[in-house]
Chains A and B, each alone.
Chain A
Amino acid sequence: MKNTLRQIAHSPKFMIGFCMILLMVLSVFIYPLIVPGNPLEMIGLGTFFRPGTYVSVYDSVSTDKRYVIKLSDAAEKRLASKLAPEDREVMKTWLLAFGLPEESIDLENTEELLQLWRNTYDPELRFDNMTTAVRKHVQRTDAKLDSLLTDTDIIIASETDGTLTQSGAVGANDYVNVSEIANVRVLPLGTDNFGRDVLKEMISALGTSLLIGLIAGTIATVFGLALGLLAGYVGGIVDDIIMFVTNLFTVIPSFVLLILISFSISQTQRGTVTVAVVIGLTSWVWTTRSVRAQVVSLRNRDHVNLSKLSGHSLPRILVADILPYIASYVIMAFILQISSGILAEAQLSMLGLGPRTTTTPTLGLMMYWAMLYTAHINGAWWAYFPIVVLIACVSFSLNLMNTGLDQVFNPQLRG
Chain B
Amino acid sequence: MSDSVLSGKGITKVFGFGDKKTIAVDHVDFDFHERELVSIVGESGSGKTTLVKMLLGLLSVTEGDIYFMGKKRDISTRGKKREYWKGIQAIFQDPFSSYNMFHKIDSVLLDCINMRGGAGLPRSKKIEMMTEACGFVNLKFAELTNKYPFELSGGQMQRLMIARIFLLKPKILLADEPTSMIDACSRATILDMLLQCRDEVGMMIIFITHDIGLAYYISDSVYIMEHGKFVEHGSADDVILNPSADYTKRLINDVPKIHAPWDFGKALG
Contacts and interface: CB of A to CB of B under 8 A. Distances in A.
Interface in A292-316: 301-303, 305-313
Given A308-B58, A309-B56, A310-B115, A301 B85 contact: no
B97 interface: yes
Given A302-B92, A309-B56, A320 B98 contact: no
B115 A307 contact: no
Contact of B97 (A302, A309, A320): A302
Contacts of B217: none
A257 to B, nearest CB: 35
B12 interface: no
A307 B81 CA distance: 13
A324 interface: yes
A219 to B, nearest CB: 26
Contact of A305 (B58, B102, B111, B115): B58
A305 B90 contact: yes
A305 B92 contact: yes
A324 B56 contact: no
A311 B100 contact: no
A311 to B, nearest CB: 4
Contact of B111 (A310, A313, A325): A310
B112 interface: yes
B89 interface: yes
A312 B90 CA distance: 15
A107 B56 CA distance: 93
A303 B100 contact: yes
Contacts of B115: 310-311
A312 to B, nearest CB: 8
Contacts of B94: 302
Contacts of B112: 310
Contacts of B140: none
A305 to B, nearest CB: 6
Contacts of A301: 97
A321 interface: yes
Nearest to A314: B78
Interface of A: 1, 301-303, 305-313, 320-321, 324-325
Q: What are the 5 closest A-B residue pairs judged by CB atoms, nearest first?
A: A324-B102, A302-B92, A311-B82, A302-B98, A310-B111
13 contacts: A301-B97, A305-B56, A305-B58, A305-B92, A306-B99, A307-B100, A308-B58, A309-B58, A310-B85, A310-B112, A312-B111, A320-B100, A325-B102
